[in-house]
Amino acid sequence: MLIFNTMGLSPNLLKGIEELGFEKPTPIQEEIIPIFFEKENDIVGLAQTGTGKTAAFGLPIIEQIDIRNKSVQALILAPTRELCIQISKDLKNYSKYIKGLHVVPVYGGASIDTQIRALKKGAHIIVATPGRMLDLINRKVAKIANVRTVVLDEADEMLNMGFRDDLDSILEKTPDIKRTLLFSATMLKEVARIAKNYMNSPVEITVGTQNAGAENIRHIYYQVHARNRYLVLKRIADINPDIYGIVFCRTRMETKEVADKLIKDGYNADALHGDLSQSQRDQVMKRFREKSLQMLVATDVAARGIDVNDISHIINYNLPEDNEVYTHRSGRTGRAGKSGISIAIVNYREKSKIPQIEKNIRKNFERLPVPNGAEICKKQLFKLIDRMEKVVVDEAQIAPFMDTVNKKLEWLSKEQIIKHFVSLEFNRFLEYYKNAPDLNEKAEDKRDKRDKRDKRDKRSERSHSDRHGRRGKNGYTRFFINIGKKDDVIPVNIIGMINDNTKDRDINIGAIDIKDSFSFFEVGEKYTAKILTSFHDSKFKGRRVRVDVAEEIKGGRNKGKRRKKSFYS
Ligand code: ADP
Ligand code: MG
């Protein structure tokens, strides 16, 4: 409590936050609270979700409320009903020991009459969504002429949700003499416009990097034909059996379609979109929060304000119209120091959006090959075996049956029993993926290559769609590596080793060709020396790895023949 104690908060407020277990202010609280009390400037706070913004503005606002004055003294605008409820709950908790303070949340999707009654009883602080607030102002129920502080929480989200005009109208109706605080995860153009039009020489406070959390997020894209999107989504889910993620779609229709298909195909998924009633949405969100739902298929609008930690994957079923929306989508993973993966399923046309998005997120995408059937089966099998290993055996309960079971299985060896057991659970996968096609978009790779000067396209060649090595060798060096199928090597392992060993993200990787006991891979010519030196001493599954330029391997059966050739015939 030491630091909070010195911040000019009254004892009753301190008591409230102490009960919440707040020991010291978060960085943004440490910055905002003193400025709030000591200066008169407007404030722009740029910080990610989870940094403690609610208390940063909430505590000083509560401190400044004059309880005897019955008029509305603070107005907090937030993008969603969920956030309004959350913020007002937080404020009520902070002010638990402050008698007579009234915080009233108002938002759409709930009875306006109830809210009108609550407002009429008196509100010192209103927490509102812009649409409902404007409605209540126009009905002359919410009177904001005496407001001293206006907070625009998650301003970027409000703008993304199309509240621009509502915000303008509300801000025009607030008194000139007031203080405005604006919070946003990113400084979008529109956010800057609001700051310029409605704020007085604001102090800008940035906590962490603007897109913090981004550090922990890996951005991946798969390039596929639009018609294969759904199949790719399934593969993503299959190769990540523990996925806990949000699948973003562009429209309600698409959201419904994708969710329906997933449900039909036996996935633990559901849809969240604007056609659902509020109670249906609450129901879905509840299941998702409790993690009884693994995949939430949602539109951007419906997913606003979803504040769930631990999300492992964000899947962009397609890229959003507006590149900045990608930042918001991906920002829902990789929170609170955890890592996360944001995946975009793109077709050739959408791929052109990647460079701009990379600029926004200040990170590069990795283009990866769509997981193939073998990789997925391996992953699922491992998961199954792992579950079997970890299952809790209730000795007492199963004891009475074991005799019969043992007798019945007598004729099978241990190895056979394992095979039967695995097949029982696993045949479905094997069957599905038996002749699974390569879903990587191929035709367009040729076009990519034409555009050599474009640096980005070099990276896209990391796609191993052309894994069998029949593409042009121009500009590539072919390497031999002494590990192959019998070592359970898959292309991703080799890509991983190249990336790990060289620590060079720009390295262009060509075809990867896995043979039984060895493999080949291609890398841009200029990286030849780097590969040779960096692979020195490297290991795969404990085995020493040897890498050599394929053409230069001498001697042996093929004598003078270039070894490479024999693998192309
Ligand atoms: P934001 O609005 O920046 O997303 P919140 O205000 O919702 O963040 O706070 C995120 C979480 O951190 C909440 O669970 C909140 O109770 C907690 N929190 C906020 N400030 C502190 C603090 N000083 N000490 C401990 N926990 C805090
Ligand atoms: Mg918040």
Q: Which numbered ligand comes closest to the C-alpha of 3? A: 1
Q: Which atom of ligand 1 is nearest to the CA of 154?
A: 2
48 lines ligand 1 (CB under 6 A): no
Amino acid letter, residue 64: Q
332 lines ligand 1 (CB under 6 A): no
pLDDT at 2: 53
51 lines ligand 1 (CB under 6 A): yes
Residue 179 pLDDT exceeds 90: yes
Amino acid letter, residue 309: N
pLDDT band per the 50, 70, 90 thresholds, residue 278: confident
Return the minimum-mean-pLDDT range out of 101-105, 283-287, 456-460, 536-540. Answer: 456-460
DSSP 440: B
Return the minimum-mean-pLDDT range out of 237-246, 272-281, 435-444, 445-454. Answer: 445-454
22 lines ligand 1 (CB under 6 A): yes
* Residue-by-residue DSSP string for 212-255: TTGGGEEEEEEEB-GGGHHHHHHHHHHH-TT--EEEEESSHHHH
CA distance 520 to 480: 5
pLDDT at 562: 39
For the chain, list the domains and their CATH numbers.
4-206 (3.40.50.300), 217-371 (3.40.50.300), 375-432 (no CATH), 448-568 (3.30.70.330)
Residue 375 pLDDT exceeds 80: yes
pLDDT at 336: 63
* Residue-by-residue DSSP string for 509-526: EEEEEE-SS-EEEEEEGG
Beta 295-299 vs 245-249: how paired, if at all?
Answer: parallel
CA distance 561 to 558: 5
79 lines ligand 1 (CB under 6 A): no
255 CA distance to ligand 1 centroid (A)? 32
517, with CB counted inside 10 A (0-12, 13-18, 19+), is exposed
pLDDT band per the 50, 70, 90 thresholds, residue 460: very low
CA distance 36 to 43: 8
pLDDT band per the 50, 70, 90 thresholds, residue 334: confident
Mean pLDDT of 393-422: 90
pLDDT at 567: 32
Phi-psi category of residue 291: left, alpha or beta, with phi > 0 → left and psi -120 to 50 → alpha: left
Residue 27 pLDDT exceeds 60: yes
Length of the chain (residues): 569
Q: Which of 2, 7, 13, 26 to mutate to test the pocket of ligand 1 (most atoms within 8 A of CB)?
A: 26
Q: Which numbered ligand comes closest to the C-alpha of 45? A: 1
Task: Give residue for tokens 């625009």.
Answer: 152
pLDDT band per the 50, 70, 90 thresholds, residue 505: confident
52 lines ligand 1 (CB under 6 A): yes
547 CA distance to ligand 1 centroid (A)? 51
Tokens of 167: 């915000």
Tens of pLDDT, residue by residue over 148-161, are 999 999 998 888 77
Residue 467 pLDDT exceeds 60: no
What is the model's pTM?
0.51
